[in-house]
Amino acid sequence: MTEYSFPDLPTLRELVKEDPVRHGGEAALLLADAGLELLESGRWRESLSLLDEASHFTELTHPQAPPLPWGRRLAAARGMPVKRGYREVALGIFRDAAHALPAGHALWPIATSRLATRLVDIYRTTGDRLVLNEAITVCSDAIGTVGSTAASDATAQLRANLADALRARFDLTQDAADLDRATSLWEAALDQTPASHPDHPVFLSNLANDLLAQFDVTNDLTDLNRAIANFRQAVEETSPDEAHRPTLESNLGAALMRRFHCANGMADLDEAVASLRDAAAVEGPSQALARSNLGAALQTRSTITGADADHAEALTHLRAAAAILPADSPEYPATLSALADGLFDAGQLSEARELFAEAERRRESTLGPDHPDTLASRHNLASTMAALGHFSVAEGEFRSILAARHRVLGDRHPDTLTTLHNLATVLSDLGRDDEAELLFEQLIQARTAVLGPDHPATRASRTAFEEIAHQ
């Protein structure tokens, strides 16, 4: 983030005495920024004196104007039990401090950028859409106003903050135009930022995250390939002793796993394991998720290669991640599901069933019954019931899941076809081979069209069909 390149606060206080109109806005802005920092860190009562002083200095910049109302509102805010009312007052002081700067002041784009950052942070805390929209408007107006007059690092930060706000709004509304604009802004910010600047790898990572979101919309591998390339570059530009490097390595590993699941390239799987292993080795806030992703990647590799060492290591990492992650973490159900996958493959079906059921309950309560992740948990639980020999129960579940996946994902989605395969297998287990043959014929045709004739899933359906046909 761009730092203020102005005198420190004690010096500014002295300068304000000499020329309040010239320096009052600078001092007010620094005080208001510090006051908001204290407010958002939970020390909101401590920020009162700083915001009082900021309000005073803002008034000094306009000696002929009527007094601003913030002093009275601050006094009222002192008795407010609700933090939100005080935050609105503090934001008002920050806005007035920014507007108190003389026209063309070099601090103005930085101040605007800081205001937008604060607004996005407040949105993420409160969910207030009006605050998010204000952040977008503030940055958009500032970029249009400063043009090429501000320093490149200041305009790059403005673009980065606007991209961050637009991505937040895309997550809320799924408006692809916001995501497209955010991606373009990250690219523009990178063009303005030297590779040696500490923000450069951060911008690369944020661009990569938005490209992943774009891949979810377009299903275009070009977006996924670009995301991986940006994650790689971000890791390369980040020193091993930087605190956020494990997060970058974890993000790279997760993106590589997504491409592996699309293209089945073992090189991607091996690189993902290496990157995630580096991330998982470092203690810190990202370690639990890295160990979860590493366990899932190792489990996938062990299924393909039959390597017992990968399978044992996968279970170790997944158990550790499940123990570390808070139960209300968004990643917790995925970790439970990955651990259950490993236990399923190890033949520990009862424990796998319990974990799949817990993952399903958590996902349904937070995501809803028709979310693809919830349906994935239901599918896994039904598969476990079939493996335990409860074929009739599994049939009913697979039919229900198939109908939901048809509705949510479409009849040619790979997940829908996987459920169709398992339903056909259960029908065969129940001795209803004629029904199973018909489903496998449909399945082979669909998987050949969607995945190709040589895809492992297509070959598995063909093999199952041939086994039934030759009985």
DSSP calls for 130-155: HHHHHHHHHHHHHHHHHTTSS-HHHH
Would you state the pLDDT for residue 276? 97
The count of residues in the chain is 471
Burial per residue of 396-424, b for 16 or more beta-carbon CB atoms within 10 angstroms, e otherwise? ebbeebbebbeeebeeebebbbbbbbbbb
What is the value of pTM for the model shown? Answer: 0.71
Would you state the pLDDT for residue 9? 61
Rounded to 5 degrees, what are φ and ψ at 441? -60, -45
Residue tagged 């000696």 (tokens) = 63
Give the Cα-Cα-Cα angle 386, 391, 396 (nearest 5 degrees).
100
Would you state the pLDDT for residue 402? 97
List alpha helices for 61-198, DSSP H.
70-77, 83-99, 108-126, 129-146, 152-173, 176-191
Would you state the pLDDT for residue 6? 44
* Cβ within 8 Å of residue 160, ≥6 positions away: 185, 186, 189, 199, 203, 206
Closest CA to 232 of 212, 253, 216, 211: 253
For 270-274, which contacts have Cβ atoms below 8 Å and span 24 or more sequence positions?
A: 270/301, 272/297, 273/297, 273/298, 273/301
* Whether 421 contacts 463, CB under 8 Å: no
Can you give the pLDDT of all 471 residues of the chain as single tens digits?
A: 333 344 566 776 676 677 766 666 677 777 777 777 777 677 766 777 777 777 777 776 655 444 444 444 444 444 443 345 556 666 777 777 777 666 567 676 777 777 777 777 777 777 788 888 988 988 888 787 665 444 566 788 889 989 999 999 998 888 999 999 999 999 999 999 999 999 999 999 999 999 999 998 888 999 999 999 999 999 999 999 999 999 999 999 999 999 998 888 999 999 999 999 999 999 888 898 899 999 999 999 998 999 999 999 999 999 999 998 888 888 899 889 989 988 998 899 999 999 999 999 999 999 999 999 999 999 999 999 999 999 999 999 999 999 999 999 999 998 999 999 999 999 999 999 999 999 999 999 999 998 899 888 999 999 999 998 877
Cα-based torsion angle of the residue sequence 162, 163, 166, 167 in order, rounded to the nearest 10 degrees: -150
Q: Which fold has domain 347-471?
A: 1.25.40
DSSP state of 64: T
Residue tagged 């497209």 (tokens) = 180
Would you state the pLDDT for residue 149? 47
Question: Two tokens at 216?
Answer: 């979810």
Residue tagged 């109908």 (tokens) = 403
H or E element in which residue 201 lies: helix 199-218
